Amino acid sequence: MNPAARRWVFLIAGAGLVAFYLWGLTGLPGFGNYPGPYGFIINQVAVGQTKATAVVSAINFEYRGFDTVGEEFILFVAAAGVSVVLRHLRGERERSALDEAKDRDAPPTSEAVRTLALVLIGPVVILGWYLASHAQTSPSGGFQGGVVLATAFVLIYLSGQFLVFKRVSPVAITEAVEAAGAAGFACVGLSAVLMGLPYLTNDLGLGTTPGAIDSSGTIALISFFVGLEVAAAFVLIVGELLEQTLLIRQEGR
C-alpha cells in the first residue's frame, strides 16, 4: 500500500474512532465527577488498615500486591528479553568505542557535561533511595526510586566512558541484584504462606504512627525489593543498548 492510500485508510478509520469516542463520552459522568465507590472506600480505610499514608503504595503493594508481583516480573522478563534479542550473533565482533573515522579522534566529552554529571550522581543516588524507602509515606515507591537509581549509572556513563559504566555495573552482579529483588518480593509473599496465611498477607508489625519509616509492615519491605529489581533491570537494559551502539559491529562494517 502506498503512503497516500495508507493515510486515507487511516483518516477514514480515525473518523470512525473519534465518532465512537465522542459518543462514549456522553455516557461518562464528566471530568471531576468521579462516581466511586472503590476509590472513596479505599481512601477511607487504607490508612487505618495498613498504617501507610500513601494510599497509592498501599494499593500497589498490599490490596493488589499479587498484580504487582506480575508487574514486576513483566519488567524482569523484558530485561531478559532485551538480553536475548541483543545477544552476540555469529559474524559480530566487539570493537572499542572509538570513532569510526581513522583520521580524527572522537571528540572528548565536554567538561561541562562531565562536571554536571559527576555533581548529580550523589544527589540522584540519595533521591533514589529516599523514593524507594518511603513508599509508605509520600508519593514514591520502588518503581520510581529504582528508575532514579538507574539514572545514577547513566550519569556515570555520561561523565566518563562506557567502559567505566561497565566496570561499575558488571552484568553478573546486576543480574544477581535484579534476581534478588524479584525473588525478595515473591518470598515476602511466600513467608505468609509458610505461616498458613494467604499469599502476600501483611504479616509484619504495622507500627503505630501512620506514615512513619517503620510503619506499614510489608509495604515498605516490598517497595525496597522492587527498587532493587527495577534499578538493576534498567541498568541491564541501558547497558545492553549502549553496548550495541558502542561495542558491537558486524564483520566488515
Partner 1 sequence: MHYFPFLVVAWILAVGLYGIVTSRHLVHQIVCLIVVQSSTYVLLLGVGYVTGGVAPYFYDVPVHTPAVDPVVQALALTDVVVEAAVTALLLAFAIQAHKRFGTLDPQELAELKG
What track of x and - describes contact with partner 1 for positions 126 through 145 (by CB under 8 A)? -----------xxx-x-x--
Are the beta carbons of 151 and 128 closer than 8 angstroms? yes
Binding status of residue 149 toward partner 1 by CB under 8 A: no
Min separation Cβ 191 and partner 1, Å: 23
Grid cell 544477581 — which residue? 176
Q: Which amino acid is at 223?
A: S
Supply the DSSP symbol for 160: S
In the region spanning residues 16 to 45, those forming contacts with partner 1, defined by CB under 8 A, are 17-18, 21-22, 25, 28-34, 36, 38-40, 42-44
- Which grid coordinates belong to 192? 505468609
| Least distance to partner 1, CB of residue 111, Å | 30
The answer to whether 160 and 245 are in contact (CB under 8 A) is no
Check binding of 14 to partner 1 (CB under 8 A). Answer: yes
What is the smallest separation between the CB atom of 59 and partner 1, expressed in angstroms? 4
Q: Does residue 185 touch partner 1 according to CB under 8 A?
A: no
Peptide bond into 37 cis (omega under 30): yes
Structural contact between residues 224 and 133, judged by C-beta atoms closer than 8 angstroms: yes
Instruction: Give me the least distance between CB of 192 and partner 1, in Å please.
Output: 21
Q: Which residues ranging from 57 to 116 are in contact with partner 1 (CB under 8 A)? A: 58-60, 64, 67-68, 71, 74-75, 77-79, 81-82, 85-86, 89, 92
Name the CA dihedral angle for 221, 226, 232, 238, rounded to a multiple of 10 degrees. -150
Distances in Å between the alpha carbon of 118 and those of 136, 167, 236? 30, 16, 21
Binding string, residues 219-248; x marks residues near partner 1 by CB under 8 A: -----------x---x--x--xx--x----
Residue 59 identity (one-letter amino acid): I
Task: Between 137 and 169, name the residue whose CB sits nearer to partner 1.
Answer: 137
CB nearer to partner 1: give 141 or 217: 141
Q: C-alpha cell of 133?
A: 524507602
Residue type at position 142? G
Could you tell me the smallest distance in angstroms from the CB atom of residue 126 to partner 1? Answer: 20
Total residues at interface with partner 1 (CB under 8 A): 64
CA atoms within 13 A on the CB side of 8: 4
First to last CA, the chain: 32
Q: What angle do CA 99, 105, 106 make, to 5 degrees?
A: 50
Binding site for partner 1 (CB under 8 A): 3, 6-7, 10, 14, 17-18, 21-22, 25, 28-34, 36, 38-40, 42-44, 46-48, 53-56, 58-60, 64, 67-68, 71, 74-75, 77-79, 81-82, 85-86, 89, 92, 137-139, 141, 143, 147, 210-211, 230, 234, 237, 240-241, 244, 250
